[in-house]
A and B are shown apart, each in its own frame.
Chain A
Amino acid sequence: MTATNVEIRNGRLIDPRHGVDGKASLFVAAGRVAGVGSPPAGWRAGRIIDAAGCVVCPGLIDLAARLREPGFEYMATLESEMNAAIAGGVTSLACPPDTDPSLDEPGLVEMLKYRARSLNQAHVYPVGALTVGLKGENITEMGELAEAGCVAFSHADARLADTQVLRRALQYAATFGYPVWLRPQDAYLARGGVAHDGEVATRLGLAAIPASAEIIALDMILTLAQETGARVHIARLSTREGVARVREAKRAGLRLTCDVAIHHVHLCDIDIGWFDAQCHLVPPLRSARDRDALRAGLADGTIDAICSDHAPVDDDSKQLPFAEAEPGAIGLELLLPLTLKWAHEAKIPLAAALARITVEPARVLGVDAGHLAAGAAADVCIVAIDEAWTVTRDALKSQGKNTPFLGLELAGRVRYTLVDGQIVYQSDAAAG
């Protein structure tokens, strides 16, 4: 498919990887960045976008977005969530293997990639299941899965109690250089728990998960990573001590990356209020001190990336007593405004904040994306960063309306999203 030449004018161009931050035009031709600041020779624009008052940045890269296919179509479909992604400026996303069946067979991965490609929207990078059926018993055909398109292997939020299985999975992955993404949580300490072990869970009488569940698992993973040489990515850090452990491991030279979910950057267990099931998340929202440590870890680079941990859930599965409610929250459309909110509150330079949702997750994924040098794929997000909007059910494209931020006013609305140089999304404001 041949794309029209696009010239994006008058915007503030931010490309964290190349230290670009200033008013400059971006020229897009044949699906790629053809020029930054000045047009390539013989330039003729097919389409001109006036980005005055907007930030023009690389399209967002989300390390965890559940599209719910196959198996959970009552919660969301590929169509609905891919629409949500581009409306949120997300141009690449990794989907965890916790579908039904789980992504443990090449056929499933190929089908997902095929379905995603036919929608012609964001790039989809499946993360394969580390063990068959995510049962924690036998390792998957990682070679076949990688060939089918898996960029990494993970155990999602499924229980993996057997450390021998984990060690062997890491050894096997390390043999072929496949990255392994793991969420640190000790299966036994977390058993039955739904909230952080602290004042709030005690007051509300909710079964609790102690911080030690994360710390012990993290220590174990770091030890095995060192021993096996596997390239490990730590997913969804949630505790203060966890941040300290990762900081220490990185300082000691371990090749390690790590992410945090955007919800945990803003919320803590107090936000559960009177049993708000929208705050039933995995890992649980922890104390305000933990949240502050996560923010500090993001600011100093201990935490590489912020992800949406997008998990659409239907109303019926959420309107249950807290512990019985399906955990998770949507985030594809909130990742950018909530990252901007963090940057604003924590006085983080815009480019540094955007790096956490563009170039850094691209590094974790191991793909050439998340930047706007000449020749790069033209995955672009154009966002009116000061435009305020209210998170309402109607404002969200995702089929899931489950978010603790419903009713909140946020700044930052995506005007245009380009994938491979094509305008795949344009907001009503941009159209009007």
Chain B
Amino acid sequence: MRNPQLNGDGQLQHLLTLEGLPVTVIDRILDTALPFVSIAERDVKKVPLLRGKTVFNLFFENSTRTRTTFEIAAKRLSADVINLNIGVSSTSKGETLLDTIDNLVAMNADMFVVRHAQSGAAHLIAQHLSAADRPHIHVINAGDGRHAHPTQGLLDLFTIRHYKKDFHGLTVAIVGDLLHSRVARSLIHGLTTLGTTEVRVIGPQTLLPAAIESMGVRVFHDMRAGLAGADVVVMLRLQSERMKGALLPSAGEYFKHYGLTTEKLALAKPDAIVMHPGPMNRGVEIDSAVADGAHSVILPQVTFGIAVRMAVMSMLAGN
């Protein structure tokens, strides 16, 4: 089966997932992002790479932060950006996902940034565009259900590379609700592709999906054991709805076992960095002292996120 996000020449046509993406492509995205970080520090933050292009931010699921960073990224590349918060209401009006896409294609869209509550939604759109022979339109998956959030994964990789230089020899621990986390899935694929020595996942059985070790990770239920000697600690957001449906008893008990405190962080390497995709629940998965502490690189992640999204958009537009 051909990787649906690469075109016939092996170039990036869409960004749907980090799974199966060649090392060379990931490296190129991260390298391309590098100069965009410094652009953000200039007075004039715009480059003309996407001038005349129309980017549609299609958010079928609410997200202010991700949408905003994509919007900033597109605008810094001089694209015209249209934000559509479709939410649940349009499906109740009877328009299907692909109807919506066809309408926007008729408005001469060049790029779709798609966030959807269902796993596979971005793949569906990409396949539809390819079946309709629209190879000039690109899809960026901004999060589909529990499946993937590749630009978040890339910005996490960018952050790790920025602070740790090399993935070989690194131990990365990802803590929390992996079952529902597209962020974790994308990061795991990226880390294993780039040759990270050890990727650990830490959480209770109820929040770890079946056979997750098949993704190339080591499973820990004891957070202290899992953090021992880690170079990077990635904390995942815990949605408050997880207290329902018998997944967890309470936020308090969760924090006791899997919340990151200064004391637990001390088990990691002295120069360990702490990451979080945001938005954080202080006191649920992470203690404020850690979130705001010396090891935290949570705010730089946000800055790098814009650069990485600019890199992805400019590369897609050039392919």
By a beta-carbon cutoff of 8 Å, the part of chain A in contact with chain B is 197-199, 201-208, 210, 273-275, 316, 319-324
Contact = CB atoms under 8 A, between A and B. Distances in A.
A321 B118 contact: yes
Interface in B1-43: 1, 4, 19
Nearest to B3: A274
A322 B119 contact: yes
Contacts of A316: 96
Nearest to B147: A205
15 contacts: A199-B214, A203-B19, A203-B214, A205-B144, A205-B146, A205-B147, A206-B119, A273-B1, A274-B127, A275-B120, A319-B96, A321-B97, A321-B118, A322-B119, A323-B119
Given A199-B210, A202-B215, A205-B144, 19 more contacts: A197-B210, A202-B210, A202-B214, A203-B214, A204-B120, A204-B147, A205-B119, A205-B185, A206-B120, A206-B145, A206-B147, A208-B209, A275-B119, A275-B123, A275-B124, A319-B96, A319-B124, A320-B96, A324-B118
A274 B4 contact: yes
B237 interface: no
Contacts of A324: 118
B102 to A, nearest CB: 11
B310 to A, nearest CB: 26
Contacts, number: 73
Contacts of A323: 118-120, 145
A368 B212 CA distance: 50
B182 interface: yes
Interface residues of B, number: 28
A207 B144 CA distance: 13
Nearest to B182: A205
B136 interface: no
B128 interface: yes
Contacts of B209: 201-202, 208
B140 interface: no
A307 B19 CA distance: 36
Contacts of A199: 210-211, 214
B98 interface: yes
B181 to A, nearest CB: 9
A206 B1 CA distance: 20
A320 to B, nearest CB: 7
B211 A321 contact: no
Contacts of B210: 197-199, 201-202, 208, 210
B116 interface: yes
B306 interface: no
Contacts of A203: 19, 185, 214-215
A202 B97 contact: no
Given A198-B210, A205-B145, A208-B209, A320 B123 contact: no
B121 interface: yes
A177 to B, nearest CB: 41
